[in-house]
Amino acid sequence: YSGQKLLEHKENDGELWAVAFSPDGRQIAVGGDGRSATILDATTGSELRTLRGHAWEVYGVAFSPDGKFLATGSRDQTVKIWDTATW
């Protein structure tokens, strides 16, 4: 372990509040002020998709243990469950 920074992501719509690796380590979900969750490639940092649907900031993101679903929680008092096979 070198402690070297491997990846950096800047949230364009304000602050970043939540980060989660997919169980296989290939994707990273991030949530923030943009009322959406962004899915990144964990190797390159490129944005793979944006999951929109919350009315306020996304404060939590979590993959299911098998990686089939992603849960996002928001200040709008909703939790949304996303099917990773169809996003």
Complete domains list, the chain, with CATH: 16-83 (2.40.10)
Provide the phi-psi class of 35: left if phi over 0, else alpha when psi is between -120 and 50, else beta: left
Amino acid identity for residue 87 in this structure: W
With bands split at pLDDT 50, 70 and 90, how would you rate the model's confidence at 65? very high
Contact 68, 56 (CB under 8 A): no
Q: What is the pLDDT of residues 3-35, one digit of tens each?
A: 888 888 776 678 899 999 999 999 999 999 999
Please say if the pLDDT value at position 39 is more than 80.
Answer: yes
Beta-carbon contacts of 13 under 8 Å, excluding residues fewer than 6 positions away, are 32, 33, 34, 35
pTM of the model: 0.89
Strand 27-32 and strand 16-21: pairing?
A: antiparallel
Please say if the pLDDT value at position 57 is more than 90.
Answer: yes
Nearest to 67 by CA among 23, 35, 27: 23
